């Protein structure tokens, strides 16, 4: 399991370690005795019980057998997958191609009713044009993915955009003004994307804010993130994809979103920022 910068992932590992320790104690065994039964060095049991080393699936199976608690194996394996899923490196996430990574997020989008998205790099996926999406995903594929399924991945992301028009959902998008001038895919692609933003911003269930560039800011740009209802935040970092579920951490991202939202312009002022970028391109 890759080391994660999130205390959500650390807490999940700690909970799993505590559960394994509990099984050991319930069986009347010490960590050294578990190691003997599993054929390990004693230090391995200690590292697992103290959450310093994450167990593998085979480690969990062996641990449960040693404790006479094989009925707990499936549940503990599910906990391991949950902990591992909180932090996924791009190489692992995209090893089968970009389409699968796009499709995997669809259930989360379908069950969410309130979306908050902040981007300092590019236009958020839900409000991208097909051409802009293709440019973004093609750049990703060239940089880090061997499989070329960009066309299928684009189709999956565009299909996911239907949630914008399905009832009962609210969307708040914040983008840095610099995003309006980042010509990913070239000038023509960006012109089409900015025109699309003007249309999206007029939807009744969408709030579109532009955070102006300027020398005086109370909050500097941060990594792009999504908040899904109040239950989960996702962050795209250079090294991987972070899922945050710990309430205190989700609240930190919600607070950051509120601070950035206070700095943003909306309505006619946001349209003016977009039109200014369009006029520059034209």
Using only C-alpha atoms, the chain has a radius of gyration, in whole angstroms, of 23
pLDDT of residue 44: 94
pLDDT of residue 225: 97
pLDDT in tens, the chain (282 residues): 444 555 666 777 888 899 999 999 999 999 999 999 999 998 999 999 998 888 998 999 999 999 999 999 988 887 787 676 677 778 878 888 999 989 989 999 999 999 999 999 999 999 999 999 999 999 999 999 999 999 999 999 999 999 999 988 999 999 999 999 999 999 999 999 999 999 999 999 999 999 998 767 888 899 999 999 998 999 988 878 888 887 888 899 999 999 999 999 999 999 999 999 999 988
pTM above 0.85, yes or no: no
What are the residue ranges spanned by the domains of the chain?
7-85, 89-281
Q: Domain spanning 7-85: which CATH class is it, in words?
A: mainly alpha
pLDDT of residue 2: 46
pLDDT of residue 85: 66
Q: Is 135 exposed, middle or buried (0-12, 13-18, 19+ CB in 10 A)?
A: buried
pLDDT of residue 1: 42
Topology of domain 89-281, CATH: Endonuclease; Chain A (3.30.870)
């Amino acid at each position: 399991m890759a080391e994660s910068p999130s205390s959500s992932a650390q807490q999940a590992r700690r909970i799993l370690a505590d559960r394994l320790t509990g099984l050991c104690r319930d069986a009347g065994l010490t960590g050294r005795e578990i190691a003997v039964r599993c054929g390990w060095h004693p230090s391995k049991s200690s590292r697992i019980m103290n959450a310093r080393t994450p167990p593998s699936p085979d480690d969990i199976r062996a641990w449960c057998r040693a404790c006479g608690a094989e009925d707990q194996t499936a549940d503990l394996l599910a906990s391991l997958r949950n902990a591992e899923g909180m932090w996924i490196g791009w190489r692992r996430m995209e090893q089968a191609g970009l389409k699968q990574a796009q499709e995997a997020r669809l259930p989360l989008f379908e069950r969410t009713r309130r979306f908050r998205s902040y981007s300092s790099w590019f236009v958020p996926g839900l409000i991208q044009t097909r051409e802009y999406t293709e440019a973004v995903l093609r750049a990703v594929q060239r940089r880090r993915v061997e499989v070329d399924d960009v066309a299928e991945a684009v189709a999956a992301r565009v299909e996911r955009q239907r949630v914008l028009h399905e009832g009962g959902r609210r969307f708040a998008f914040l983008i840095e003004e610099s995003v309006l001038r980042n010509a990913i895919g070239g000038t023509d692609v960006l012109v089409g994307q900015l025109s699309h933003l003007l249309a999206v911003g007029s939807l009744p269930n969408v709030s579109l804010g532009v955070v102006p560039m300027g020398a005086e800011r109370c909050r500097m740009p941060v990594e792009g993130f999504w908040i899904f209802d109040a239950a989960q935040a996702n962050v795209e970092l250079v090294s991987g994809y972070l899922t945050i579920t710990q309430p205190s951490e989700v609240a930190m991202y919600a607070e950051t979103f509120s601070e950035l939202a206070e700095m943003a312009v909306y309505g006619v002022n946001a349209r003016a920022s977009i039109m200014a970028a369009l006029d520059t391109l034209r």
